[in-house]
Amino acid sequence: MGQTSGRQERSKKPEVAPREVMEAEIEIQNNKDETKEVKAKNQKLTSVFGLADLKNEAIGLYNLGQSCCLNSLLQVFLMNIRFTRILRRITVPSSPAQRRSSVPYQMLLLLEKMQCGKCKAVGPTELACCLSEHRVELFVQHDAAQLFLTLWNLLKKQMKKPELVEELCDLYTICIQEHVACQKCSFEVKSKSTMLTLPLPVLDANSHRLKTLEDSLQYFFRPEELTGQNMCFCQQCGRKTTFLQSMKLVHLPQTLTLHLKRFCFERSSRTHKLSHSLPFPQELDLRQVLTESQCQAEDSEKATWQYELFAVVAHSGSASCGHYCAYIRSLTDCKWYCFNDSEVCQVSWDDVKCTYGHSNLYWRETAYLLFYMKKHPQQPWPGVSECL
């Protein structure tokens, strides 16, 4: 920073005129001021890119007006240490306008604000205004599954470093292989696709209630026969025939997101909520849930399909009027917390189980999004080895 320019060798001790002494003192003071300014900038960057994850206090988010859905999802993102480690390495936009419209950057600033402040809650105003520039409406009721997809797509699109985009995909995306086979001949079409969430039904095709999360997973991956109006054209048969459609798991991410399809459409085009009980486990081993025919993965891949529940986004109320909150297990102290906008409190597993649902209590909280995190006993993440 120019501190070495014009310096004299100390051992020579030359005689210096008074004016030169004054100029030297001014230069030294300027260098000191410059050093202080650099240190201050470095400290500010450190607070954004490093120290934020070291504080264990849970901070709430003020409701800006029907922003409970956004608040709940932001808490799930920012309480995930694996996600914040990606977020801290983003490229900071160069201009003020770019920074205002950058969702990753505004989310990073919110993380700093939450972790470095002394308030029990902060307002996500700047991030909300940023999202409005990307056609995410404010002051309206959002669907948590749709808003989660929107936020993730914006994060992926605006992260400039390819390696961060790849890490973000590895953290959240599910790889599926779809099989469509003609039942008249051996013709079969295979195609791979990625999904952010698994949209799990809570009712079967006959509107019977599925009893557990494991039942929903098995039903989602069950083969389905395409008959009648759903028949497909077979290139070998030269006509429409009955096909068997099935999906198989190829790869699961570090954070597995399950979407319980609690909202369904009636014939009257009205949406209603399915509030019946659907228990979900704290620990989920997909190898024990799915059959061999429902998987298309190597044994080394399937060996990592052991998960532990990390967060639950729950909805209370009806399909047209409701409220969201998030139950999250801290990766630093392994305790469950309820994030209800600005209010944050420690809860028990029994409190989380209250989100299973109840047939006769339509306004009660029911789990809508489930976030499971991979267990890595051989290579634990720093700071969370005791939890996972």
Question: Which candidate in 251, 259, 315, 323 is catalytic?
Answer: 323
Among residues 254, 65, 264, 91, which one has the least CA distance to residue 164? Answer: 91
Structure-token match 């999360």, residue found: 213
pLDDT tens for residues 297-331?
A: 999 999 999 999 999 999 998 877 899 999 999 98
Residue 76 inside a domain? The answer is yes
Share of the chain above pLDDT 70, in %: 80
CB of 340 closer than 8 Å to CB of 296:
no
The reply to whether 44 falls in a domain is no
CA distance linking residue 340 with residue 324, whole number of Å:
8
> Which DSSP string do the residues of 78-135 spell out, in sequence order?
HT-HHHHHHHTTSPPPSSHHHHHT-HHHHHHHHHHHHHH--SSEE--HHHHHHHHHTT
Distance, CA of 122 to CA of 110 (rounded, Å): 8
Number of independent structural domains in the chain: 1
Whether residue 9 is contained in a domain is answered as: no
Report H helices in 283-361: 286-289, 299-302, 349-353
Domain contains 103: yes
Is 68 among the catalytic positions? yes
**Does any domain span residue 145?**
yes
Question: End-to-end CA distance of the chain, in Å?
Answer: 46
pLDDT of 293 above 80: yes
378 vs 374: which has the higher pLDDT? 374
Q: Which of the four pLDDT bands, split at 50, 70 and 90, describes residue 167?
A: very high
Angle CA(127)–CA(132)–CA(133) in degrees, nearest 5? Answer: 100
Q: Which residues, at least 6 apart from 74, have a Cβ–Cβ distance to it below 8 Å?
A: 61, 107, 110, 124, 127
With H, G, I as helix, E, B as strand and everything else as coil, classify residue 255. strand
b/e burial code for range 123-148 (CB count within 10 A of at least 16 → b): bbebbbebbeeeebeeeebbbbbebb
For the chain, give the longest Cα–Cα distance: 103
Single-letter code of the amino acid located at 198: L
Give strand ranges (E) for the chain. Answer: 60-61, 121-122, 174-182, 188-195, 198-200, 224-226, 232-234, 239-241, 243-251, 255-260, 263-265, 271-273, 283-285, 306-317, 322-329, 336-340, 343-347, 366-374
- What confidence score (pLDDT) does residue 266 get? 64
Of 104, 106, 110, nearest to 89 by C-alpha is: 104
How many C-beta neighbours within 10 Å does residue 195 have?
Answer: 16
Phi-psi region of 114 (alpha: psi -120 to 50; beta: other; left: phi over 0): alpha
Coil/strand/helix, residue 180? strand
Question: pLDDT over 90 for what percent of the chain?
Answer: 61
pLDDT in tens, 12-48: 333 334 444 444 444 545 555 444 543 444 444 444 4
The string of pLDDT tens digits covering residues 195-251 is 999 999 999 989 899 999 999 999 999 998 888 888 888 888 888 888 888 899 999
The sign of the CA dihedral 373, 374, 376, 380 is negative
Asked whether residue 239 is assigned to any structural domain, the reply reads yes
* CATH number for position 306: 3.90.70.10
Reference 144, options 259, 29, 270; nearest CA is: 259
Which residue type is seen at 88? R
323 is annotated as an active-site residue: yes
Amino acid, single-letter form, for residue 224: E
Residue 25 belongs to some domain of the structure: no
Q: Which domain holds residue 353?
A: 52-374
Q: How far apart (Å, rounded) are the C-alpha atoms in residues 306 and 270?
A: 38
Q: At residue 260, does pLDDT exceed 50?
A: yes
Domain presence at residue 38: no
* Higher local confidence (pLDDT), 342 or 25: 342
| Per-residue b or e along 270-302, where b marks 16 or more CB atoms closer than 10 Å to that residue's CB | eeebbbbebebeeebebeebbeeebbbbeeeeb
